[in-house]
Amino acid sequence: MTVLVAYSSKRGSTAEIAETLAATLRREGLGVCLERAEDVRSLEPYDAVVLGSAVYMKRWGGEAKHFLKKHRKALRQKPFWVFSSGPVGDPANDNPDWIEPPKLAEKVDELGGRGHVVFGGRVPAEPRGLMEKAMAEGVPERFRDRRDWDEIRAWAAEIARQLVLIRS
């Protein structure tokens, strides 16, 4: 069984999550292809798909949204999962409205997605532009990288478990 892990990452944090997911799926005995979402031409070679995107201003990256639209027919025929990455800062101040970009859960459900998870994000180490600089200055150092690597690996292991059940 071969799984495509596709991602849209503006500054590299989401790409690192995708790399960890791919490595975990490989350790679980699956074949894995790791690609940027915009580089994927066809889903035909894959038995399952994991798609992820960074979220900025409550929006998924354009490449990931385009991926869902471009491959919607193929996605309906395959097991697939999606993840978002983005929240940083003090978890006590998390805004429940952020949990998913608007309409994303609807679109994933409509296409038959098997799940969506939101992972914490990371403030860029070298912020660019006024918005990134303001965000970095406003986030205490200890909350600048909210990625939980154990949670990420556990989610990938659960996907592998579900794929083994599908294959049986």
Tens digit of pLDDT for each residue in 111-145? 999 989 989 888 766 767 776 666 667 667 777 78
Residue 135 lies in a domain: yes
pLDDT tens digits for 38-72?
999 999 999 999 999 998 777 788 899 999 999 99
pTM for the full model?
0.88
Residue 8 lies in a domain: yes
Residue 126 lies in a domain: yes
Residue 166 lies in a domain: no
Cα separation of 27 and 103, whole Å? 33
Residue 168 lies in a domain: no
Would you say 80 and 116 are in contact if contact means Cβ atoms under 8 Å apart? Answer: no
Q: Whole domain around residue 124: which residue ranges? A: 2-160
CATH number of the domain encompassing residue 132:
3.40.50.360
Residue 136 lies in a domain: yes
Residue 165 lies in a domain: no
Task: Please count the structural domains in the chain.
Answer: 1
